[in-house]
Chains A and B, each alone.
Chain A
Amino acid sequence: MKIRLISTAASVAALLGALASPVVQAASQSEMIAEGKRVAFHRKLGNCLTCHMMADGESPGNVGPPLIAMKARFPDKKVLRAQIWDSTSNNPATMMPPFGKHSILTEDQIDAVVEFVHSL
């Protein structure tokens, strides 16, 4: 019942989290966010700071919009994931690299980045 309600919006990770015990859920969720942050900030991985201001990120660029209040702007995590997986489907001329489509990040890394960005 509860699962049905959130299933359309939730990623697999969140679904598994909802099924797991509250303690385990908290740990894996925060681990995932930490990993997502590492990937997002790493110059050879997400390097999102080249273009986006993000909390805690030093000397960000200003080509993309600041990544703040993400839950309000992306209530549906799938939409957020799609933007990161292939930014060009939304805007073929975009500066933003298609992180999934061009295998810049692995699927797991993208899942983690989505968790992190959604927490901003």
Chain B
Amino acid sequence: MHKTILAVSAALTVSLLAPLTAIASSPEEDLKAFRDYYHAKFPDTPEADFINGVYSIDEDSRVQWENMEEFPVYEEDIAAGEELFNTPFANGKTYADCLKGGGVGTRQMYPYFDSDTGNIVTLEEAINTCRVDNGEKPLKYKKGPIAQISAYIAYTSRGNKINIEIPNDERALAQYERGKKHYYMKRGQLNLACADCHYYNSGMKGRSEIWSPSLGHPTGMPVFRWGKWGELGTLHRRFGGCNKNIRAKPFKAQSDEYKALEYYLTYLSNGLEINGPSSRK
């Protein structure tokens, strides 16, 4: 009698809000609309301050957080990352030899569109490509050494402005659109989109947790989460966590899907300063 079969299949499908995709808009138009929206919603937050996640919109937790940041919990990770970064591979080469621009101070150019392959290249992926090209084993993507190396590179890039280009290439635009689609698509058993929490309802509370704006999310990665992780994790680890929370099957870290999502979201934060690694409660 009850619609169990129907319900199960419905839970597996995802629905897309029609109006959002029906209106085609260029990345430039998206960026402007995205920013205008958050500025109207959070008139007291200067644009440059959105790099501080939820603390950019919540004065109470900000004070606590600023106290925490006086003795940064990720300091040892940066040191470990620096050491890893400078330790030569078995063949004598280093990360500096194979990462674009030598790696140091380059966080703001990731992720980028690679016109040779049509793929998006993230910093973490570039680190592993570097390893494999030099005969080393790839590192696991969500935490540990890769997050530490990423943290060191972010740290040496602090203050540099995010600069993501979407070249005039259909494939680059397709990657951007794929990320955008992921962001707005309702998914999982709970039927929620990233945009539901971090766009339309940013600043609102789910239980006692305030949902942060997506503007600025990529600047502070990797992130050390005191409570939930007790360690450093990458942006894609966070994506996976948010997908799991809505009971959607997470994609793999560094999957094409999450790389496209990172490309989309990081583009929308263009011009904001890198301030990673960062800490969150």
Q: Is A17 an interface residue (CB 8 A)?
A: no
Binds B, one of A28-36, A76-84, A88-96: A88-96
CB distance from A94 to the nearest CB of B (A): 9
CA distance A9 to B86 in the complex (A): 73
Q: Beta-carbon contacts of A32-68 to B below 8 Å, as 1s and 0s? A: 0000000000000000011100000001111100000
Contact of A93 among B2, B4, B17 (CB under 8 A): B17
CB distance from B206 to the nearest CB of A (A): 4
CB distance from B80 to the nearest CB of A (A): 35
A59 with B190: in contact, given A93-B17, A101-B7 (CB under 8 Å)? no
Q: Beta-carbon contacts of A88-114 to B below 8 Å, as 1s and 0s? A: 100011010110111110010000000
CB distance from B261 to the nearest CB of A (A): 20
Identity of the chain B residue whose Cβ is nearest the Cβ of A103 in the assembled complex: B7
Does the CB pair B207–A95 fall under 8 Å? no
CB distance from A98 to the nearest CB of B (A): 6
> Which residues of chain A come closer than 8 Å to B200, judged between CB atoms?
95
Q: Is B281 an interface residue (CB 8 A)?
A: no
Q: Which of B203-223 contact A (CB under 8 A)?
A: 204-209
Contact of B206 among A50, A92, A103 (CB under 8 A): A50
Identity of the chain A residue whose Cβ is nearest the Cβ of B191 in the assembled complex: A97
CA distance A35 to B59 in the complex (A): 39
CB distance from A43 to the nearest CB of B (A): 9
Does the CB pair B189–A104 fall under 8 Å? yes
CA distance A62 to B200 in the complex (A): 13
Does the CB pair A63–B17 fall under 8 Å? no
CB distance from A56 to the nearest CB of B (A): 15
Identity of the chain A residue whose Cβ is nearest the Cβ of B19 in the assembled complex: A93
| Interface of B: prevailing SS | mixed
| Interface of A: prevailing SS | loop
CA distance A100 to B1 in the complex (A): 13
**A-B Cβ contacts below 8 A, count:** 55
A103 with B15: in contact, given A62-B205, A95-B201 (CB under 8 Å)? no
Does the CB pair A63–B205 fall under 8 Å? yes
Q: Is B73 an interface residue (CB 8 A)?
A: no
> Which residues of chain A come closer than 8 Å to B166, judged between CB atoms?
none
A92 with B192: in contact, given A50-B207, A63-B204 (CB under 8 Å)? no
Q: Is B79 an interface residue (CB 8 A)?
A: no
Does the CB pair A102–B189 fall under 8 Å? yes
Does the CB pair B208–A59 fall under 8 Å? yes
> Which residues of chain A come closer than 8 Å to B6, judged between CB atoms?
101
CB distance from A83 to the nearest CB of B (A): 14
Contact of B191 among A59, A63, A88 (CB under 8 A): A88
CB distance from A50 to the nearest CB of B (A): 5
A95 with B205: in contact, given A101-B3, A104-B189 (CB under 8 Å)? no
A104 with B15: in contact, given A50-B207, A63-B205, A63-B206 (CB under 8 Å)? no
Does the CB pair B192–A95 fall under 8 Å? yes
Q: Which of B232-262 contact A (CB under 8 A)?
A: none
- The 8 A-B pairs with the shortest beta carbon distances in the complex, nearest first, are A59-B208, A102-B11, A97-B190, A61-B205, A103-B7, A61-B206, A50-B206, A63-B204
Additional pairs, 6, CB under 8 Å, beyond known A101-B7, A107-B2: A51-B206, A62-B205, A88-B191, A92-B15, A101-B3, A101-B10
